[in-house]
Chains A and B, each alone.
Chain A
Amino acid sequence: MYRWLLCWRYLRTRYIALASVVSVTLGVATLIIVNSVMDGFTSEMQNRMHGILSDVIIKSQVRGGLSNPEEKRQQIRALLGDQLEGMTSVVHVPAMVMIEHQGQTLTRQINLIGIDTDTYADVSDFSKYLLHPENKQQLSFLLRETGYAEDGDLHDAGWEYRRLKARRMKELQELRRRNEMLIKSMESAANEKHSGATGQSGESTSLGEPSPVIGPPAVGAVALGAPAISDEGAAAQSTERSAEPEQDDGTQQRLAFPASPFGENSEIATVTAPSNAVGGSPLPEFDQGLTTEEEQAAKFDAETQQWAGIVMGISIASIPYRQDGEVLDYYYARPGDDVRVTFPSAGAMTTAVHEKFTIVDFYESKMSEYDSTFAFVPIDRLQSALGMVDEEVSSIQLKLKEGADLAQVRDLLQATYPPGVTGLEISTWRDLQGPLLAAVQMETTILNILLFLIIAVAGFGILATFFMIVVEKTKDIGILKSLGAGGYGVASIFLGYGVLLGAFGAGVGAIAGLVFVANINTVADVLEGVTGREVFDPTIYYFETIPTIVHPSMVVSVIIGAIIIAVLASVLPSIRAARMHPVRALRYE
């Protein structure tokens, strides 16, 4: 009994000992913070990886893909039975995407993935990461009217934006055509009159205003008329090209046009709107049938039609930038824009396949690796473009029931489809992300070891302080012994003291750590304000806020570890106290 009384007394009267546990407190707090943040990151990352990767992936290593996928699917269904929750087939192919932006072509290397809209959502959290709320429910590769974002750059994306853009483009082409015509006619007039070049340049500067002389001309008439008037080859060619209704070249020409598009154009748009409105404004539910054949491409009207839909990773089409401390995204392209994708065909003689797609949504999983490389298109579209006539697929992805043993399923499938024979690579999502997960795990382990070493260093502080206290209490130890206290009892005073101090330090540390974790983003903001340096850069981490997860077991084990260190540090002083000779202790001055 006296031990508890005394160690309680010592705890309350020896504040110097509390100083020695400050480092325990700090160590515990740091450990809890670091672990929470690391766990938060890991679990967030795993969720996202898992979400997009599905549980088990059966991937064909063979060029041209996995033939006869339906048979395989049935086999797998029979093999796994109850454990299977969902299954889908995908085709993926490395590709290059070209995005037109302000007259320049941006190219990005992507991973083009053909997905089955009906089943893909069954195996992964893919749709969760789409921008449009309706696409989150059920993905459609048709462009939505609007509603991709409440505000910001994407608020007008969709058909609204596409129509406006197409209209402006037409107007620009129109304007350009008229301009060309004007120049041509003036040139021819000049040639006839043998007048100088001054007239030409003078006229060309005034091209911003629509000339009332030339009414809305019939496209065909101008196109046909121009070469007839012109006698200069180059000029004629360019006119012809621009007259071609092929969208792509028109865009390039438009964007190559030096004038910045919108400010000036809106004015032009109002002037010339009536002429175009006749053909374009009432848009009936146009069947946006995917038109790939050349003749259809020629007839393509960007205002009412779209190409096959593509869902792009958001980082492919945007870059983050910073404005007034806020991180914003700058979009090179948005839903409603067209992009051109080039990829190798699947045939024996590989050729480059060029396809045009219309961006119908963005995909934002916040995993930069995925967001910057994944682009999804309809699987049938991709299969036909690749020349996979038998509907071959690149991989089959499985989603298993909750609690199924992934590794076991993988082994079962591997036994059924030996990799050496079938050329199939069967892996779980963990296998695929193994190195990254292992790296994070190792990082966590090393940090834990380092921080525990800090607490161990704190242990030496406790050791020194305790020795001091034992020396200071020599006489008291002698008194207790003279009153019949045994060595055990005396030792347990100091051991108990160590436990209490350790528990106190660890407890305070745990509370401090938990409070810190709970308010970590506020703390980051405050630190940011004080130091002027950004603590947590969302452009790097893709997280708006610092993710944290507190595992109670982690907190408990950290506390126990700290207490054990405190106890170990108090063992030596306790032994010294226990061995003290009562007479010498009593005589100690």
Chain B
Amino acid sequence: MESSGATKLQDSSLQNPVDQGSNAALNRPRRRTQTSGELQSQPTNLRVARPQVLEAKHVVKAYRKNNHEVPVLRGCDFEAASGQMTAILGQSGSGKSTLLHLLGTLDVPDSGEISYAGQRIDNLSRRERDKFRNAQLGMIFQFYHLLPELTALQNVLIPLLIREGVLSYFGRRKEIRGQAVELLERVGLGHRIHHKPREMSGGEMQRAAIARALISEPELLLADEPTGNLDRENGDSILRLLRELNSESDLTIVMVTHDESIAQRCDAIVHLEDGRVVEQTRC
């Protein structure tokens, strides 16, 4: 089912939601008014009333190190509104990256709930989480995390390659590649399509990573300090790009940063300190 209509996933789920009934969490928030009931319970200082698309409730996470429990998140609550840019701001070790990983289902919380579009995603099976990450989520990292052996185009294609089998890939090769090239041009890397990561600058690599995150047309983008390794100029342009994507296609972005100035350019800021959310502000 997934392989048959990968990029059309959104449409197919719209037309035939029963199709994905086995995994309701993968359904996109189709009508935002659906969750409008929650709107009243949200802080009223939001500029535009937006439904919550991503939520974490009382999330607790600890890492084990030499039989020592090192608590990272101690009952953390988090919400991100659909179509907004939310920044998670905190010092190093405040647990902001861990929170992002939990939101991105890369890890599971010790306790607490994480839900996406009203569906819990923290208790999904490993395979369902893999599918969720692959189809519903885009992720970018501070160190870009491109595969060094592959060209920019191939890196961008990876999420689709993961989803598609060999046969269906070759069946739709042109379409998929066209999509990837289009995305690379969109992020301004039209001239770097066949370059390997080591032949690109940091900014270019981050753009490629953004293109990769967007290839499966997600509605949610998780960014782990996307500008942390870039100079101000490149960082600015990356932020501008994210902003554009956010406003053009209503992309929900959750961004982790320790830089107050960057956080200020987002729609909402969640201050994290010592594993707890201490303050939520709206810009």
Contact = CB atoms under 8 A, between A and B. Distances in A.
Query: Bound pair: A and B?
Result: yes
Interface in A40-80: none
Contacts of A13: 149
Contacts of B148: 476
Interface string B92-134: 0000000001001011000000000000000000110011111
Contacts of B126: 486-487
A484 B134 contact: yes
A454 interface: no
Nearest to B212: A483
A482 B158 contact: no
A4 B161 CA distance: 10
Given A5-B154, A583-B107, A475 B145 contact: yes
B150 A9 contact: yes
Nearest to A4: B166
Given A480-B162, A486-B126, A487-B126, A1 B104 contact: no
A38 B38 CA distance: 82
A582 to B, nearest CB: 5
A10 interface: yes
B211 to A, nearest CB: 13
B78 interface: no
B228 interface: no
Contacts of A586: 106, 141, 145
A10 B150 CA distance: 10
B161 A1 contact: yes
Given A583-B106, A586-B145, A485 B130 contact: yes
Contact of B139 (A10, A475, A483): A483
Nearest to A488: B127
Contacts of B163: 484
Nearest to B101: A583
Contacts of A476: 147-148
Q: Is the interface of A mostly helix, strand, loop or mixed?
A: helix
A481 interface: yes
A484 B147 contact: no
A484 B107 contact: no
B75 interface: no
B164 interface: yes
Given A487-B126, A582-B106, A5 B133 contact: no
A575 interface: no
Nearest to B164: A1
Interface string B138-167: 010100011111100010001101111110
A205 to B, nearest CB: 99
A476 B212 CA distance: 14
Interface in A452-490: 475-476, 478-487, 489
Given A5-B154, A582-B106, A484 B135 contact: yes
A2 interface: yes
A407 interface: no
A6 interface: yes
B127 A486 contact: yes
A1 B154 CA distance: 12
Contacts of B130: 481, 484-486
A201 to B, nearest CB: 103
A122 B193 CA distance: 78
Contacts of A10: 149
A9 B147 CA distance: 11
A159 B212 CA distance: 95
Contacts of B154: 5
Contacts of A6: 147, 149-150
Contacts of A489: 162
A13 B148 CA distance: 11
A2 B147 CA distance: 12
Interface in B206-263: 212
Nearest to A479: B145
A482 B165 contact: no
A586 B165 CA distance: 25
Given A9-B150, A583-B101, A2 B106 contact: no
A56 to B, nearest CB: 58
Nearest to A585: B106
Give me the 3 closest cross-chain CB pairs, A-B, nearest first.
A484-B134, A2-B161, A9-B149
Given A478-B145, A484-B131, 7 more contacts: A475-B145, A479-B146, A480-B158, A484-B132, A486-B127, A582-B106, A586-B141
Interface of A: 1-2, 4-6, 9-10, 13, 475-476, 478-487, 489, 581-583, 586
9 contacts: A1-B165, A2-B161, A6-B147, A13-B149, A476-B147, A480-B162, A482-B106, A486-B130, A586-B141
